[in-house]
Amino acid sequence: MSWIDICAIDDIPLRGARKLKTELGCVAVFRTAENEVFAASNTCPHKGGPLSEGIVHGQSVTCPLHNWVFDLNTGQAQGEDGQIDTFPLRVEAGRVLIDGTGLSGRSAA
């Protein structure tokens, strides 16, 4: 894996998200109330809603447009036929790192 430092964990609000711009689209980096972090596609497959503007609850995010709920571990929509891409993250010394190989062809902006 090729880890890329993208931000401090405190740069992501609790129960919120930060958008990471890449050449091939945006990735949302989510932080739960328990300080867990997840990365997933920022675009809901239903109507293209910006998931980084959704509601983070537990290990899920709800799309702000039509309330689709996505599991941040798997990307699977709950009760719907849809899925978003997820990307490996880790936290080291308060810094959030994303696996650059999972973003093949993408670069942080």
CB 63 within 8 A of CB 49: yes
Whose structure tokens read 């010394």?
93
pLDDT tens profile 31-81: 999 999 999 999 999 999 999 999 999 999 999 999 999 999 999 999 999
- On the question of pLDDT at 90 being above 60, the answer is yes
CATH homologous superfamily for the domain 3-100: Rieske [2Fe-2S] iron-sulphur domain (2.102.10.10)
Tell me, what's the pLDDT at 82?
A: 94
Give the integer Cα–Cα distance in Å for 89 and 57: 18
- On the question of pLDDT at 98 being above 90, the answer is yes
pTM of the complete model: 0.90
